[in-house]
Amino acid sequence: FGVPAPAKWHPEIDTGIHTLMTLSMAAMLSPQVDVRFATL
């Protein structure tokens, strides 16, 4: 990934890691594909 994000808003720093963390959380909260897609 390697796309930086401000640490103030995203402590994980890397945008790709942030995206994967967000998708993982969406998958835990809902089995619906449209919810996961909306996360992107």
Could you give the 3-state DSSP secondary structure of residue 3?
A: coil
Check if the beta carbon of residue 4 is closer than 8 Å to that of residue 12. Answer: no
Identity of the amino acid at 9:
W
Give one DSSP letter per residue of 3-40, joined into a string: -B--TTT-TT-BHHHHHHHHHHHHHHH---HHHHHHH-
What pTM did the predictor assign?
Answer: 0.73
Enclosing domain of residue 1: 1-40
CA distance 30 to 33: 8
Total domains present in the chain: 1
Placement of tokens 């996961």 in the chain = 36
pLDDT in tens, 1-40: 888 888 888 888 898 999 999 999 999 999 999 999 999 8
